[in-house]
Amino acid sequence: MENTLPFMGYHGSAGQEGMSQMGLGMAIAASMVVMTMFQQFLLTHLRGYVELFLRKLFKSLDPNVQIRFGDDDNGGPKNHEAYAAVETYLSSKCSDQAPRLKANSVRDIKTPVLCIDVGEGVDDEFNGVTVRWQLGEEKEQGESYRGSRKNRYYTLTFRKSNRKMVVGEYLRHVMEEGKAAAASNRQLKLYSNSSSEHGSNWKYIMDFDHPAKFETLAMEKEKKEDIIDDLIRFSTGREYYRRIGKPWKRGYLLHGPPGTGKSTMIAAIANLLSYDVYDLELSAVLSNATLKRLVNKIPCNSILVIEDIDCSSKITHQRERNTPNQGEEKKEKILETVTLSGLLNCIDGLFSANDGGRLMVFTTNHVEAIDSALLRRGRMDKHIEMPFCGFEAFKVLAKNYLGIEEHDLFGKIEGLLKESSVTPADVAENLIARRGEGEDSGDDCLKKLIEVLEKSVQQVLDKKGEGKREEIESDPSL
């Protein structure tokens, strides 16, 4: 023990010095650790603050504002809608500015959408303000089962001083123009219920590529302009219909003899508004309930067409059903009807949503045979008479078919058209020149037409004469 103590004592004094040195070392080491931690802290936390501060400082000095339009899935379909509208809007701008362009094929769009390449930009001017659009690309965060994906985005850059105008008016203009351009470039489709079982479902029939246009439709100029005006006001009337609290729908009735252009006008309307056509075959529908379901399935921005409404508004279907009766199979006849009231209900309760316009077009050869309940405004808002061919309509056809705007025979034709009852279809048929050997000239076609008109005038006179004779014969006082 004794030995141990001096030994320990000896070692004790030398150990004290060593201990103090050790303490110093430890203190230095600890301070170094603290310093390193502090440095780390500064680097990680403070650097963040410094960076943020600097970014804010630069931002406040930066005279520009940027808005990003991404095509990422996370933003949902609305995000994609805005991105697509921007892309279509820029398609026309970039074709004459960008050195490199990409052509994107988009589903249901007839011609490819041109867009700038990643990293490229395009300038646009609106109300005297210049803005710049740039296309960027970034890797999507995280890996999915499809591997890493790249998301594209457009960045809109503009001066801070123009913020109000750009965020308000300009972006509205971009969205509207982009959507309108996409709509007018859309491949139209024709649907019908006629080929589905019991007419109960809409079926895609074909792409709707009818060439009819209002410019080539034979009709008085003023009347045509009034119809176009009405259609445009309807199709752009979202706010108006919302304001007056009415569903965004409009009914047209086209009436007139066969061959006066009713079906042709429906095609011209579809092309003008870029609406799909839903051709409802009423005679194929077995019940009012089915009719209602069909009508309610029609999407916005489409036309519901019911042709020959006079023939199809009172239809009775008979079908046989097997019903077990005391062990025997007994045939029972069931009468199902699509009634006028069913149709009226459909029209009235129809299209309550305001997400887009729906147009209904009815046609008939016998307007006098249609129930007045169906004719009233609100159901059929605009009645358009498609008459026999007048001189103005003839001039449109002569220009379309023969490329003739003036001719010596026009005067004679004008007089004959006043007295005859020929349809634009009859006139068109006579203006189609025979091709090949012995090809018809414009003169030949007009002469051929004059013969047809003279015959028609004679028929009209004969009919009038017959009428008069019948009148005289049936009048006992004469």
Least Å distance, CB 262 to Mg ion, is: 5
Q: Which residues bind Mg ion (CB under 5 A)?
A: 262-263
Residue placing its CB nearer to ligand ATP in the complex, 342 or 424: 424
Segment holding 318, helix H or strand E: strand 315-325
305 binds, among Mg ion, ligand ATP, none (CB under 5 to 8 A by kind): none
Least Å distance, CB 405 to ligand ATP, is: 16
Q: Which residues bind ligand ATP (CB under 6 A)?
A: 217-219, 258-264, 365, 386, 424-425, 428
* C-alpha to C-alpha distances, 172 to 27, 82, 232, 413, nearest whole angstrom: 67, 11, 19, 51
User: ∠244-248-254 over CA atoms, to 5°?
Assistant: 115
183 binds, among Mg ion, ligand ATP, none (CB under 5 to 8 A by kind): none
Sign of torsion over alpha carbons 281, 282, 286, 288? positive
Least Å distance, CB 265 to Mg ion, is: 9
Please give the Cα distance from 298 to 317 (Å, whole number). Answer: 24
**CB-hemisphere CA count at 13 Å for 383?**
17
Enter the tokens of residue 39: 């440095």
Please give the Cα distance from 78 to 217 (Å, whole number). Answer: 39
Least Å distance, CB 370 to Mg ion, is: 16
Amino acid at 371: D
79 binds, among ligand ATP, Mg ion, none (CB under 5 to 8 A by kind): none
259 binds, among Mg ion, ligand ATP, none (CB under 5 to 8 A by kind): ligand ATP
Least Å distance, CB 469 to ligand ATP, is: 31
Enter the tokens of residue 89: 């809007």
Residue placing its CB nearer to Mg ion in the complex, 256 or 342: 256
Residue placing its CB nearer to Mg ion in the complex, 154 or 191: 191
Residue placing its CB nearer to Mg ion in the complex, 192 or 290: 192
Residue placing its CB nearer to ligand ATP in the complex, 220 or 454: 220
DSSP secondary structure, 205-227, as one string: EEE------GGGS-S-HHHHHHH
428 binds, among Mg ion, ligand ATP, none (CB under 5 to 8 A by kind): ligand ATP
Residue placing its CB nearer to ligand ATP in the complex, 86 or 428: 428
Least Å distance, CB 257 to Mg ion, is: 11
Residue placing its CB nearer to ligand ATP in the complex, 162 or 365: 365
Least Å distance, CB 450 to ligand ATP, is: 19
Enter the tokens of residue 23: 């303490």
Least Å distance, CB 107 to Mg ion, is: 31
Q: Among the residues of 42-123, which ranges form H helices?
A: 47-61, 76-94
Residue nearest ligand ATP, Cβ-based: 261
Q: Are 294 and 354 in contact (CB under 8 A)?
A: no
219 binds, among ligand ATP, Mg ion, none (CB under 5 to 8 A by kind): ligand ATP
Q: Please, is 24 exposed, middle or buried when counting C-beta atoms within 10 Å of its C-beta (0-12, 13-18, 19+)?
A: exposed
Residue placing its CB nearer to Mg ion in the complex, 306 or 338: 306
Q: Report helix, strand or coil for 201.
A: coil
